[in-house]
Structure 1
C-alpha cells in the first residue's frame, strides 16, 4: 500500500505555500520562464496546470538544486495532496480568515521586497505592480493555508504514551539504533561593552555633521554610500525600500511613520547606533525610506570597564553561596535570549521545545573550546568572545551537564525517542487518511507522469472515470 509520509507532506506544504511566489523567485534569479497551459492533473473539481509544476521546478533550480526530473514527480505529488486536503477542508467547514491570508501575503511581500532591494526593483522583476501580484497569489496562498489547517486537524488529537514510546523503541533493530553525538547544557552570563555618554557624543556629532551636509544641499545617497555603516543599504545610497512598522526597531519606525515625504528626521539612537532618515514615499501602512547609520566603535576603556564588572560577578558567584548562576544571569546578563532562561543556551535546532541540550558540534567553536576543559558544575572565569560580526563580549560560562556520544536508549534519550515515536504515529495516521481520501476522489494524471513511481496508483481507474469532469483552477 502506497503511503504519503511526513517528508513528502512537508514538501507538499512548503511547495503549496511557495507556489505563489515561484514567479518572483524565477524573475529575481533570472531563471528561464516557461508557461504551459496543459492540464497536468485533475483532482475532484480542481485542476493542476503544467505551468504550476514547471515554475516550481524552475524555482528549485534557481535556488541551486541539481537538475532532476524526479523533483517534478515530488512537486505534483505535493500539489495533489494539497488539493485533497483543501477539498476535505470545505466538507469539514475549515476556513481561513481573510486577515490570516492578508498577513501571509504581506509577510511574503516584505521578504520579497527586501530581497529585491526595494518595491520598485521588485515590480521590475515581476513585470507588474505589487498590488496586482498580491491579488494573483492570494487564492493560492489561501488554499495552502486551508490545506495546512486540514492537515493539523487530522493530527490534532494524537499523542503517545510511555508504553507506545517503549514499543516504538523495541521495534528498532539493535544494529539500527541511532547514535547521538556528545551533548552538553551550557549557561552564559553575557557582558556587553557599553560606551558612556562622553564616548557616544563623538559618534552623535559625526551623524549630526552628515545630517547638516544633507540639509545644506549635498546628495543624501552619495553621503550614505560614502559614510553609512549599514552594509545592507549603504551601497544603495541608504535605500531600504518599502516596509511596514514591524520591519524596524521601534525608534526607527516611530520616525519613519511620523514624517511626510521628503522630510528628514533628527539624529536618533537605536541599538545599532545613531541614525537619521528621509521618507521618500508612504503607501498605506508601508513607507519607503533611506537612512545613514553611524555605529559607535567599542573603546578599550569600555572593554576594561566590562571586564572589571564581569570579574566582580565571577568573584561573587565563587564566594557567595546565596547567589546561584541562574539568579546572576537574570540580574546581570545583557543577552535577552538567555537571561530569562536561567542563562541557559537553547538548541538552535529545537527552539520550539526550548531544549537546552545542544550537540557539542553545534556550539560556537570558542565556547566549545572553553567548556572542553571544564568539569560539570564548573563556572569559567570571564573570557572575551568575538562573534561573526566582530562584536566583542565578555562571558562567564557554566557547564551544567555532559552526555557522551552513545547509542540511543530509553534511560538517556526518552524525549528524543518520544518525538520520534510521535512523528511515526503522525506519519501513519496521515498516510491512512490520504489512502482513504485518495480512493474516494476522482483523480486524473497526464500520461507524461506515468514514469513517477510515487504517483503509481493515484489516478482513478478508467472504469471509474466520469464522462466529463467539471474542473476549475
Structure 2
C-alpha cells in the first residue's frame, strides 16, 4: 500500500487526445468513493496512455491504476469537504497549456480539430473535470503534508538505515556560474539584416516565395529552422519575448509584420491562425553579424570586471547583477541550474566549450573572458566561475546532506499520507467491482466496501 501512495503523483497523468475524446461503445461504473465514480474506460485509457509514453507498468496494471483512481477520488472528496477551491482561471490556464501541447504535436489548430473530430472548445470541456480533480487531489495532498518537517536527527536515522552497498555513488559534480555579455553589432550590419528581412517580406507578399521556405533557408533561429519558422504562442505566456508577442497579436491571419527588434535580433512574423489568446505563427530571425572588433571590445571590458572580482572589490553575485546580460541571471544569480533546481551539475551537462574552460580552474577561480556562441546562435563573451568541484564518492552526510534530507522528508510525507488513508478509507462510502477482488493493492479498500450494496 505504501508504494501506491509514494507513486500517487506520477500516475493518472493527463489523458492523450485520442483517449480523452474516444467514444466508448460499452462502459460501466467499476468504483465509487462517496459520490465520485470511476469508469472502466478511465482505467483502460490511463493504461494505454502510459504505454504510449513508454512507461513501465506492473504485471497487473488494472489493479495498480484502480488503486490510484480510488486514492485520487478520496482526496478530491476530502478537498471538497475542506473547501479547497481551485479557481476557474487556474483550470483554464491548465487547459490552455494542454491545447498548446496538442497543437504543437499536430501542427495547427485546424489539424488538431480534424484529428479529434471536435472543436478546441469541446476538447477543453472533455478535459475540464479530470484537470479539476487532479488539481483538487494535489491541494489535498499538500494540505496533509503541509506541517511535515524533518530534523537533523531524523535525517541521520534515515541515513543509518540504508545498507552501505545501497548508498548512491555520485560522480564528480560542479557548481558553475557565468557572467555573460553580448557584443553589439555595428549599425551598418544591423541595417543589412533589416534590409534582408524587408526583402523576404516583399517576396512573400508578391507571391514569389512561401514564408516557410524562406524561414527554413535563412532564419538564424535553430529552434524553428526545421519547421519553417513555426511556433505556437499564447498572448499571456511570460516566457516569450514581450516584443515578439506584441507584434504577433497585432496581425490578422496571413498578414506579415514589419521588421522589429527583440532581445534575440530582428524579426518578421507571419500570422498563420489565431484563436483568442492562442496563435500559430511563423517567423524569420536575423542576428546581425558580430565582428572581431565588437567581440574584442567586450573582452576588454570583462577583463576589467574579472580583475575586480579577483581583487575582491565585489563578490560574484554583485558582479552578475551589475554586468551579466544573460536573461536567466536575475533568477539564478548567474549559477547554472541542473535537474530540479539544483546547482550541482555533472560535467556532461555543460557545453563542450565550457568543459574545456573548466579544466584548469580550481574551486573559487574565475576564468579569463571567453568568446563563445550560445544555444541560440548568438555571439557572446563570458567569465566562468567555478564555485565548487566534488570528487566521485559514495553518498555521505557531510557532502550530501541535502540530498539525503530530501529523500527522508519525502518518505516521511508518504507515511503521513498513508496514515491519512488508513484513517479515512473506513469513513467513505465505497463500491468496487468484483473483478478487482483479488488485487493485492486494494486490500484495505476491499475490506471497507460498504455493506448491503
- Place the TM-score, normalised by the shorter chain, in its bin: 0.7 to 0.9
Partner residue, 1:331: 322
| CA distance in 2 between partners of 1:374 and 1:399 (Å) | 7
1:317-341 Cα distance to aligned partner (Å, 9 max, x none): 44x4424433333222222323665
State TM-score, norm by structure 1.
0.83
Query: Is the 8 Å Cα contact of residues 216 and 227 (structure 2) preserved in structure 1?
Result: no
Distance change (3 Å), C-alpha of 1:327 and 1:268: same
Residues 216, 229 of structure 2: 8 Å contact kept: no
Structure 1 counterpart of 2:103 = 113
For residues 345 and 210 of structure 2, what CA distance do their matches in structure 1 show?
Answer: 46
Question: Residue 471 of structure 1 corresponds to which residue in structure 2?
Answer: none
Q: How does 1:45-84 map to 2 (within 5 A)?
A: 45-65=35-55, 69-84=59-74
| Alpha-carbon distance change, 206 to 96 in structure 1, aligned in 2, over 3 angstroms | same
Which residue in the other structure is 2:14 paired with?
A: 18
Residues 274 and 71 (structure 1 numbering): CA distance in 2 closer, same or farther, change over 3 Å? farther
- Offset, 1:430: 0.5
Following the alignment from structure 1 to structure 2, what is the Cα–Cα distance between the partners of residues 201 and 45? 67
Query: Partners in 2 of 1:92 and 1:176 — Cα distance?
Result: 41
Aligned residues between the structures: 451
Q: What secondary structure does 2:2 align onto?
A: coil
In structure 2, the CA distance between the partners of 1:391 and 1:272, relative to structure 1 (3 Å rule), is: closer
- Partner Cα separation in structure 1 for residue 93 and residue 280 of structure 2: 19
CA–CA distance in structure 1, aligned partners of residues 350 and 180 of structure 2? 16
Maintained 8 Å contact 2:72/2:134: yes
The CA deviation string for residues 408-459 of structure 1, in whole angstroms up to 9 with x for no partner, is 3333333223222211210110011112222333434444445643234432
Shift of 1:142: 1.0
- Select which of 64, 73, 91 maps to 1:101: 91
How far, CA to CA, are the matches of 1:91 and 1:388 in structure 2? 49
Segments of structure 2 that go 5 or more residues without pairing to the other structure are none
Moved more, 135-144 or 62-71: 62-71
Q: CA deviation at 1:197?
A: 1.9
Rate the CA distance shift 1:259–1:249 in 2: closer, same or farther, 3 A.
same
- RMSD of equivalent CA atoms: 3.2
Instruction: Report if aligned partners of 2:259, 2:268 keep a CA contact under 8 Å in 1.
Output: yes
For residues 340 and 233 of structure 1, the distance between their equivalents in structure 2, rounded to whole angstroms, comes to 26
- The alignment partner of 1:458 has SS state of helix
Secondary structure of 1:459 counterpart? helix
**Aligned mates of 1:325, 1:461 — CA distance in 2:** 60
- Equivalent residues of 1:182, 1:404 under 8 A apart: yes
Aligned to 1:273: 265
**How big is each residue's C-alpha offset from its partner over 1:120-153, in whole Å with a ceiling of 9 and x where there is no partner?**
1111221111011111211111111111111111
Q: Partners in 2 of 1:205 and 1:110 — Cα distance? A: 33
The answer on whether the counterparts of 1:25 and 1:62 sit within 8 Å (CA) in structure 2 is no
Residue 68 of structure 1, CA deviation: 6.0
Matching of residues 2-13 of structure 1 within 5 Å: 2-12=1-11
- How far apart are the structure 2 equivalents of 1:363 and 1:226? 28
Match of 2:422 among 412, 435, 442: 435
Query: Could you tell me how far apart the structure 2 residues matched to 1:359 and 1:291 are?
Result: 35
Structure 1 residues not aligned, in runs of 5+: 468-473
Asked if the contact 2:295/2:371 (under 8 Å) is kept, the reply is no
